[in-house]
Amino acid sequence: MSDLSGLSKGPSLWEATSFPAPECEALNRDVKTDVAIIGAGYTGLSAAHFLAKAGIEPLVLDANAIGWGCSGRNGGFISTRFRTSFASLASSHGRAVSDRMRQIALEAVENVREIIEELDIACDYHSYGAIFAAHNDKAMASLRAATQWVRDELGERDIEEIDRDTVIALTGSTSFVGGNLMPKVGAVHPLNFARGMARSLHARGVPMFGNSPVLSITQKAGGVELRTPRQLIWARHVIIGTDGYTSLTNFVPSLAKSLVTFPSALIATAKLDPGLLSSVLPQGHILSDTRRLLRYGRVYDGRLLFGGRGAFDGDASGSAYRRLRSEMVKAYPQLASVPIDYGWSGFVAMTLDGLPRMGQLGDHVHYALGYNGTGLAMSNMLGRFTAEKILRKTIDTSLLSSPLPRVPFHSLRVPVVRAATRWYQFLDQFA
């Protein structure tokens, strides 16, 4: 497929290699439930799992199919990072807060592993380890300072600084000047992980409905009324877990206006012959870099997956995939003649300060969203935290429960993000 223009019309690599999701028909009757969950992605499925374990029967709704959103469209990385560094959090909020946020990040990774083991989900989970590669000397200096802070202040000894020769040996690319090797980062088949949670919920009798978009929520005495195109749901509690798709039906404008969303796109090569495959991330590490507009990659199914972020209108287009392919070939010239078999994208939700949030709108409506592109582990953790909050458990969620800042001039977000993206592209190339 030389022009790549038709990639977005076909399935993603994850769809092409996934087992089926449980059948979830559209809601066709009025219902009452303890907890209605809007969004059948990681946040909603995780919340449903922990509620069901506690003997509470939730009801899961989605405007499309299970895992249809970014939960089935991401790179599958399980990381301990927030978009905001722990050093920055310590500077702005104090050391104790930074320490707790670090603890939450580590707990989030462990939470994913525990869910996979408990539910016996076949999602190709492995702790591959990750290389965080510096794209120039200035970025390497910043990375070195940040790493030293984590070592000195948090006692982190697992992160290893590696030089240019080592990065070349581990990545197969000469595009980087050095980096960090982080052994605790893992990866999964992201759609199988979502569908595996859904299968477990289905087996436990948890009702799940696809193609049932929520158009409005109205808080009333003792609960909440939700309206779909044809039916009404009455719930004592509601959990909103729609992240980058919160504005899809605009059923909660106040949340939508606190998020900036844009697609994060990926491409996957054709299967590589053994010689080429051994030249790309030969030890199976995950790769991400220090660019402001992140580029990342991993090997799966004998292919290189290569992704990145930028501002596009709607779903990523042929031009977005061509740009990604160009970046991939710069990093891996040996792949210049390899066809691209798959291209797909999912919407990422950014918050103003780069931190995810959980909170409430009134007494009965809960939300968890804003994962800023590093959400696989954290979305499952916030789904768990939100379930535990409804169950009246005492948990320290630190900054994750701080007020969600409204994005100023939200109606201008598209031109502003476009301008910022161009500026970041310039800085990544020349600064």
Q: What is the CATH number of the domain that holds 53?
A: 3.50.50.60
**Residues in CB range of 250: below 8 A, 6 or more apart:** 256
At residue 329, the pLDDT reads: 96
**Using an 8 Å Cβ cutoff, are 104 and 381 in contact?**
yes
Q: Considering the domain boundaries, does residue 171 fall inside one? A: no
Neighbouring-strand partners of residue 358: 368
Question: Rounded mean pLDDT of 22-26?
Answer: 93
For residue 274, tell me if it sits in a domain.
no
pLDDT at 2 over 60: no
Average pLDDT value over all residues in the chain = 90
298 is a domain residue = no
| DSSP line for 184-217 | T-EE--HHHHHHHHHHHHHHTT--EESS----EE
The mean per-residue pLDDT over the stretch 368-380 comes to 94
Question: Residue 312's pLDDT is what?
Answer: 47
What is the count of structural domains for the chain? 1
Query: Nearest to residue 186, comparing CAs of 124, 115, 278, 271?
Result: 124
CA distance 256 to 160: 39
The domain in which residue 80 lies consists of 7-126+184-257+347-430
pLDDT of residue 10: 80
pLDDT the model gives residue 413: 61
pTM of this structure: 0.93
Residue 27 lies in a domain: yes
Q: What does the pLDDT read at residue 318?
A: 76
CA dihedral angle for residue 174, residue 180, residue 186, residue 192, rounded to 10 degrees: -40
Q: Helix or strand or coil: residue 284?
A: coil
Q: Is residue 385 part of a domain?
A: yes
Q: How confident is the model at residue 262 (pLDDT cuts 50, 70, 90)?
A: confident
Answer yes or no: is 354 within a domain.
yes
Residues 111-115 have a mean pLDDT of: 97
Residue 289 lies inside a defined structural domain of this protein: no
Question: Has residue 85 been placed in a domain?
Answer: yes
